[in-house]
Amino acid sequence: MTLFPRETTTVRIPKVPKQRRGRHQTPVVVVVPEQLTWGQRLTAAIGRAAWKRRRAFVPTAVAVAALVAAAVAHAQAPGLWLPLAALAMAGPGWLVWATLRRPTPHRRVRTWRVALAAAVLTAGGWAAASVAFGPLTNPLPWLWLLLLLAAHVARHLRRATRTADLPANETEYPTEKESAR
């Protein structure tokens, strides 16, 4: 039986003067690991990288929450698919309204409008079908994955165009000092 784990190789006893230690007190023993293992280093590096880029995981978090919500809605209220199907038509309805009410000559704006309407239609259709048939019924998991990838691509493109439009000294998000003002 070992007293310390194998990777713990250094035992340091700090020098404490006897007058501060007391007559019958034992010295303080500090056990310090020599080095981290490769697995610990890799886990720490992945954790730091994930924390640094945590905003990039927002589409994944939203997609997982939608998957869980669809599973719960399928189990609790499978009749909810009809309002969700009607809500899915809001995307194309908005596209028609925006085209008639606010026409634009810019191709980039029209492309984003069509892409947004298609995403709302597809996501709403997926939600309605998931509530009706279950989120793990084929081909719904593949559609969920396709929507997740599309959300990540849209987020990346939006971030790239947003930072390209800003002056060189500004960033997309304010720093802590700027937001405190």
- Predicted confidence (pLDDT) per residue in 124-142, tens digit: 889 999 999 988 889 989 9
- Predicted confidence (pLDDT) per residue in 64-104, tens digit: 999 999 999 999 988 889 888 888 888 888 888 888 888 88
Q: Write out the H or E segment, with its range, that includes residue 101.
A: helix 90-101
Question: Which residue shows structure tokens 């599309």?
Answer: 150
Residues in Cβ contact with 66 at an 8 Å cutoff, skipping those fewer than 6 apart: 123, 127, 144
Angle at 58 between CA 123 and CA 162, to 5 degrees: 95
Alpha carbon distance 83, 119 (integer Å): 18
